[in-house]
Every structure is written in structure tokens, then in C-alpha cells.
Amino acid sequence: MTALTGKQRRHLRALGHHLTAVLQVGHEGVTDAVARQADAQLEAHELIKVKVSENAPQDREEAAAQLAEKCGAHLAQVLGRTALLYRRRKEKPEIVLP
């Protein structure tokens, strides 16, 4: 998995701006159940927002990076307590990166 360029990150941030969070990392942190749900959401949408609760055991950047690693996704952005994850769909990808 190659790293995203600045231009690709900017494109993903623009696409993700209007999205609402579909997943929340709670007080138990990044569990297997959260990773499975994120994996399913990434397969369905390619680009998702994830909220990291104040009660999470890790800090927001660490939790977002851990979730991205477990799902094999790119971490496009962490803004406040919201992370933006991207993973290209294997079949019929909709998002075309510049």
C-alpha cells in the first residue's frame, strides 16, 4: 500500500467534508468489532468518517492510525476527534484519485 500524496489527501478531504461519521471508537478503544465494522463500511463506501470518543484509551491520532492499520486503509485526515479513512474498493471503485 503506497502512501497518499498531498494532492490525493486534499482530494479525499474535499470529498469527505460533507460526510457524517458512520462509526465511533468508544471507551474500549479500537476493538476487533470496531475494526470489522470499519472494514465493512470501507468496502461499501470507500471513504468514511470515524469519531474518536473522549473516553477512548488512546489519543485520537493513535486510535485513528491503529484503526487504519487494522483495516488496511489510508488515514487521510484527523481533524478534532474525527478521522477520515480511505480504502479503494476491489470491485467497481467509485473514487478516482488524482
Task: Report all structural domains of the chain as residue ranges with CATH numbers, in order of start.
Answer: 6-86 (3.30.110.60)
pLDDT tens-digit readout, 5-36 = 999 999 999 999 999 999 999 999 999 999 99
50-81 burial, b at 16+ Cβ within 10 Å, e below that, comes to: bbbeeebeeebeebbbbbbebbebbbbbbeeb
Predicted structure pTM score: 0.92
pLDDT for 24 equals: 95
pLDDT for 3 equals: 87
pLDDT at 1 over 80: no
pLDDT tens-digit readout, 47-94 = 999 999 999 999 999 999 999 999 999 999 999 999 999 999 988 989
